[in-house]
Amino acid sequence: MTYVRNAWYVAAFAHDVLAQRPSGVRVLNEPIVLWRNTAGELTALEDRCIHRLAPLSLGRCEGERLRCMYHGWLYDRGGRVVEIPGQSRLSSNLGVRSYPVLQRHSWIWIWMGDAAAADEHLIPPIVGMEDVNRDDYVFGYGQFDVDADARLVYENLLDLSHISFLHAETFKMGPIWAQEHPNVTELGRSVRSERWLTSGSQNGSVYGDHLGDSHFCCDCFVPGIVILSNRTYPSGTAASLNGHAPDLNEPAHAGVANHAITPLTDKTARQFYLIAAPRRGEELAYDTTNEVRAFDEDKKMIEAQQRNLDATPGYRFVSAAADRGVVLFDRLTEKLVRAETAA
Amino acid sequence: MTYVRNAWYVAAFAHDVLAQRPSGVRVLNEPIVLWRNTAGELTALEDRCIHRLAPLSLGRCEGERLRCMYHGWLYDRGGRVVEIPGQSRLSSNLGVRSYPVLQRHSWIWIWMGDAAAADEHLIPPIVGMEDVNRDDYVFGYGQFDVDADARLVYENLLDLSHISFLHAETFKMGPIWAQEHPNVTELGRSVRSERWLTSGSQNGSVYGDHLGDSHFCCDCFVPGIVILSNRTYPSGTAASLNGHAPDLNEPAHAGVANHAITPLTDKTARQFYLIAAPRRGEELAYDTTNEVRAFDEDKKMIEAQQRNLDATPGYRFVSAAADRGVVLFDRLTEKLVRAETAA
Amino acid sequence: MTYVRNAWYVAAFAHDVLAQRPSGVRVLNEPIVLWRNTAGELTALEDRCIHRLAPLSLGRCEGERLRCMYHGWLYDRGGRVVEIPGQSRLSSNLGVRSYPVLQRHSWIWIWMGDAAAADEHLIPPIVGMEDVNRDDYVFGYGQFDVDADARLVYENLLDLSHISFLHAETFKMGPIWAQEHPNVTELGRSVRSERWLTSGSQNGSVYGDHLGDSHFCCDCFVPGIVILSNRTYPSGTAASLNGHAPDLNEPAHAGVANHAITPLTDKTARQFYLIAAPRRGEELAYDTTNEVRAFDEDKKMIEAQQRNLDATPGYRFVSAAADRGVVLFDRLTEKLVRAETAA
């Protein structure tokens, strides 16, 4: 598995890690325990007691400390062993790895590489539940696991031409969507694919009471965080901008779907999704029925793809025009991995 | 796994592959999609789109063509890519392997080796549902999977002495059956085991209202297709033929059981069975209750045998007189495999 | 897997192997069939017919003999083939391995090493159901499998400091238990850990109507047989013995828990337990509710430990003072394995 390590990976929804309740997760094949002290502050440690590798996620939070509940070894927030029952002297260098961890945009993020390089600014501009006025937006969210390399999962989102085929019944986008390619550009640590759907096209959107132009943008950030946004404008906007993108720093008028794909192991990935949609009335949440149906379609296809890949060692995918985003993102990932390996 | 490739393997019952509904099967570890055009004609292609290995069996039949439903690549019946959405120029050499395939004797047969060598005459003389007058015969049929090397499954049928033990309660043949050996001969691409059970013996058969002589014949064809036939005659027939076989080109008077053992992977096999029995009255089908019970006994034993084999690397079976059919067939298979490898 | 072979392993409860009913077990990765002749005498043979590796445990007992029910080969109690159906001459050296086996202390024991070295005196002094007066004692017993190396399972019993943590709610022993270490000594083929809990301590016991002193002893025998005994005495006994152990040859006044940990495969173990407790009244059996809850806690922890171990190749445990019993026993096992390998 070749993944960028100097990057933030989503480990959990923030609301799923409760105070004083350790929670075991896995990222890049590494077992990690997440826990909060009484003040709610997060710690992420290697999830195996150095004594006999019992998981600390089966342990007990004791204020600022976490106790392994097999034989009682006690760890501080830095991962250092501070108590061994029945033993008065402790070597000062006993401990487990601790990971930079923080909570942002409704998710918990872990930095898997060199702790000194951890930089909060590298967290992608997710639209989380605390980031918008809840009077204006409703959210739908969830997570699911896919028995496949995470790469196959985020590549699904990097080539959205599949919506015309795999999700033909679910999203009813028609074949035109797949025949017209988005503009694809590389932007530092992400690849952007964007396009206009104008009021004259088959897939035009509604703006107020009329048909409008809608601008669709997909930003895929290293290591596999995807932000899909959809902005709607009065009819004619696309033409007045000569087909150029609108100001993407403005909030989306029609919704944002955030996806984080986390490699659990070489062949299992967890997909977290968080969809923000403009509030239409008094609804409590965004209705994800259609998206969940599409995720099921994706999961079934990607797992079958992984099985075929396993049965075809050394196979190299054949790429076409629609794969430009995939190709650029793979190249970006490889470049970053090479830089890390060299360092 | 060492199997003959220049041979017809049964992939499915003909009635299980519907028009315009692609069906994924596996033969010799290879994923294969079977489908029919609107006229019902069969095609067998490699079941992985060259683009990103998505299975074509999750695809959509479009008349003479099959579309991958991940990103919409379209294949013709020869396996050639004839459309990539959003791309105007296509390289002419893009495509997947296509396999010779045909429907015969109620089954669908795939040729796994050199397509130029595919020869319909190598299909064994199965008695399928379309091959007899349905006023005279009824059928029972089905299929099941065994978690074992296909070789262990067809060898079960090549040494029927096990009927006296493994199926002691089910077929009640008694120990004599195992103590008397059949005549075993090699016939080109098959091994024949045949014997008389006379009216005087413990296992004599009924002919009309009286005890009769019955002739039992087992033909095992490469790569693992077994035809068991049972012919009944008036008492004294065996003696009048000096124990020689009757004319085996004549239809069986008492029934034929056809079995096809297809290796799915190195350690899973699918057994297709199709039993033709003379009609006795108005019954709709042959009652397979007893056979199904015997298949369960076989499956349990063979899977346990495979587990023991896995735990005993390099073990070479000890053979006895009753294994003559097994030994000849293994030798025949090895000879054909060597010839293929040399070619 | 590195285990002592010249040792008795528990294969089953004696009452679970019925006369004339072959029973398949697995010890040290070897498939073994246990069976009794009509007189109830035990035989243990390799559980794979030499013919085609069918398991003899699917066979049929015929008095002094066991028949493979695939093709009918017949074995005597020494493992020799004495009949092959349809074959008059038999090579005299055909057969499977036979293992020394005996029934003792409610269990069936198999010797996995050199048969000439099998010595009944090496069976540990288990307190079985036939060893005590059933008017005085009641028993509770059972078995369960753990998906882990057997070593992790018996080490759980060699370091009982875990009772204060893993079983904090189940046994309510408090943290003092873990902070005070037992006396640990090596005794030939076992390691003993023993300690007093006096009436003045937090974990003192009851003796008659009063608080008493209790002596707790854990003997762990090669290859993984653990006898936990608890003896209660009048208050002051520990002091009068200057903290030395009481006479451990006397029967335990408060109970014995016998455990046998048998490696089935490299990463699965079977734990047999047999608890003898002084009868209090008319109860039919010892109530194991608490123990079963503790076993579940152990199993969950040990299986998680094994998964972490699998994900951490080459990891060497860090040991502390409480691990003295574990360290001595591992050293003893390694010494015996080295001696066997050299021999």
Lookup: tokens for A112: 């898997």
Give me the pLDDT at residue B28, please.
96
Contact B165 C68 (CB under 8 A): yes
Name the strand (E) or helix (H) holding C312.
none
Q: Span A238-255, mean pLDDT?
A: 91
Q: How far is C74 from chain A (nearest CA, A)?
A: 43
| Helix and strand numbers, DSSP H then E, in chain A | 6, 19
Contact B53 A308 (CB under 8 A): yes
- pTM given for the model: 0.94
Given B168, B304, B318, which is nearest C51 (Cβ)?
B318
Continuous H helices in A136-288 = 150-158, 168-171, 176-179, 237-240
Helices B150-158, B289-310: inter-axial angle, 10-degree rounding: 130
Contact A311 B70 (CB under 8 A): no
Q: How far is C225 from chain B (nearest CA, A)?
A: 26
Q: Is C190 on the interface with A (CB under 8 A)?
A: no
Residue A206's region, left for phi above 0, alpha for psi from -120 to 50, else beta, is: beta
Distance CA B38, CA B42 (A): 10
Closest CA to B147 of B18, B317, B299: B299
Residue of A nearest to B29 (CA): A311
- Kindly indicate the confidence band of residue A67, based on its pLDDT and cuts at 50, 70 and 90: very high
Given A52, A70, A86, which is nearest C179 (Cβ)?
A86
Residue of C nearest to B312 (CA): C53
Distance CA C68, CA C75 (A): 8
Report residue C326: phi and psi, to 5°: -60, -45
DSSP A280-298: -SS-SS---HHHHHHHHHH
Distance CA B8, CA B44 (A): 13
Distance CA B295, CA B275 (A): 13
pLDDT greater at residue A29 or residue C2 = A29
Residue of C nearest to B318 (CA): C51
Q: How far is C110 from chain B (nearest CA, A)?
A: 20
Give me the pLDDT at residue B206, please.
67
- Three-class SS of residue C321? helix
Q: Is C314 on the interface with B (CB under 8 A)?
A: no
- In the predicted model, is pLDDT for residue A204 greater than 70? no
Distance CA C4, CA B289 (A): 50
Question: Which residue shows structure tokens 């995939």?
Answer: A326
Name the strand (E) or helix (H) holding A307.
helix A289-310
Question: Which residue shows structure tokens 């923000």?
Answer: A276
Q: List all chains that touch chain C, counting a touch as 3 or more CB pairs closer than 8 Å.
A: A, B
Asked if residues A161 and A305 have their Cβ atoms less than 8 Å apart, the reply is no
Count how many Cα atoms sit within 13 Å of the Cα of residue B297 in the half-sphere of its side chain.
23
- In the predicted model, is pLDDT for residue B305 greater than 70? yes
Closest CA to B49 of C165, A309, C79, A216: A309
Instruction: List, in sequence order, every residue forming a beta bridge with A101; answer none if it has no partner.
Output: A110
Segments of chain C with pLDDT less than 70:
1, 200-206, 208
Give me the pLDDT at residue A162, please.
96
Name the strand (E) or helix (H) holding A85.
none
Q: How far is A21 from chain C (nearest CA, A)?
A: 16
Give me the pLDDT at residue C128, please.
96
Q: Is A97 on the interface with C (CB under 8 A)?
A: no
Q: How far is C184 from chain A (nearest CA, A)?
A: 15
Give the number of other Cβ atoms within 10 Å of residue A282's Cβ: 6
Q: Is B82 on the interface with A (CB under 8 A)?
A: no
Closest CA to C43 of C116, C102, C105: C102
Name the strand (E) or helix (H) holding B310.
helix B289-310
Asked if residues B74 and A327 have their Cβ atoms less than 8 Å apart, the reply is no
Q: Is B70 on the interface with A (CB under 8 A)?
A: yes
Helices C150-158, C289-310: inter-axial angle, 10-degree rounding: 130
Lookup: tokens for C290: 């608490």
- Kindly indicate the confidence band of residue A202, based on its pLDDT and cuts at 50, 70 and 90: low
Q: Is B327 on the interface with C (CB under 8 A)?
A: no
Name the strand (E) or helix (H) holding B169.
helix B168-171
Instruction: List, in sequence order, every residue forming a beta bridge with A137; answer none if it has no partner.
Output: A278
Most B CBs within 10 A among C53, C82, C84, hence the mutation to make, goes to C53
Residue of C nearest to A52 (CA): C317
Asked if residues A56 and A22 have their Cβ atoms less than 8 Å apart, the reply is yes
Name the strand (E) or helix (H) holding A326.
helix A324-342
Residue C89 CA: distances (Å) to CA of A207, C82, C83: 93, 10, 9
Name the strand (E) or helix (H) holding C96.
none
Asked if residues C188 and C179 have their Cβ atoms less than 8 Å apart, the reply is no
Given B55, B87, B94, which is nearest A308 (Cβ)?
B55
Q: How far is B197 from chain C (nearest CA, A)?
A: 16
* Distance linking the first and last C-alpha atoms of chain A: 19
Contact B87 A322 (CB under 8 A): yes
- Three-class SS of residue C304? helix
Lookup: tokens for A238: 């696309």
- In the predicted model, is pLDDT for residue B38 greater than 60? yes
Distance CA A58, CA C298 (A): 12
Given A152, A161, A315, which is nearest B71 (Cβ)?
A161
- In the predicted model, is pLDDT for residue A267 greater than 80? yes
- In the predicted model, is pLDDT for residue A206 greater than 90? no
Q: How far is B227 from chain C (nearest CA, A)?
A: 21
Closest CA to C336 of C5, C101, C1: C5
Contact B318 C50 (CB under 8 A): yes
Q: Is A87 on the interface with C (CB under 8 A)?
A: yes
Q: How far is C177 from chain A (nearest CA, A)?
A: 9
Q: Is B142 on the interface with A (CB under 8 A)?
A: no
Q: Is B231 on the interface with A (CB under 8 A)?
A: no
Q: Is A86 on the interface with C (CB under 8 A)?
A: yes
- List strand residue ranges (DSSP E) for A248-329, in order: 256-265, 268-278
- Kindly indicate the confidence band of residue B203, based on its pLDDT and cuts at 50, 70 and 90: low
- In the predicted model, is pLDDT for residue A236 greater than 80? yes
Q: How far is C91 from chain B (nearest CA, A)?
A: 11
Contact A320 B50 (CB under 8 A): no
- In the predicted model, is pLDDT for residue A329 greater than 60? yes
Given A48, A53, A85, which is nearest C178 (Cβ)?
A85
Q: Span B129-138, mean pLDDT?
A: 93
Lookup: tokens for A199: 């009021």
Indicate the DSSP class of residue B252: P
Give me the pLDDT at residue B250, please.
86
Amino acid letter at C85?
P
pLDDT single digits (tens) B252-286 = 888 999 999 999 999 999 999 999 999 988 999 99
- Kindly indicate the confidence band of residue A210, based on its pLDDT and cuts at 50, 70 and 90: confident
Residue C29's region, left for phi above 0, alpha for psi from -120 to 50, else beta, is: left
Closest CA to B310 of A96, A204, C53: C53
Residue of C nearest to A29 (CA): C311
- In the predicted model, is pLDDT for residue B1 greater than 70? no
Across all residues in chain B, what is the average pLDDT?
94
Give me the pLDDT at residue A203, please.
60
Domains and CATH numbers, chain B: 8-122 (2.102.10.10), 137-342 (3.90.380.10)
Given C31, C70, C94, which is nearest B165 (Cβ)?
C70
Residue B66 CA: distances (Å) to CA of A20, A302, B51, B95, C252: 55, 19, 14, 12, 78
* Chain C residues touching residue A94 (CB < 8 angstroms): 318
| CB proximity list for C209: less than 8 A, separation 6 or greater | none
- In the predicted model, is pLDDT for residue A343 greater than 90? no
Asked if residues C262 and C11 have their Cβ atoms less than 8 Å apart, the reply is yes
Continuous H helices in C77-182 = 150-158, 168-171, 176-179
Name the strand (E) or helix (H) holding C324.
helix C324-342
Q: Is B213 on the interface with C (CB under 8 A)?
A: no
Q: Is A82 on the interface with C (CB under 8 A)?
A: no
Closest CA to B181 of B193, B170, B171, B191: B193
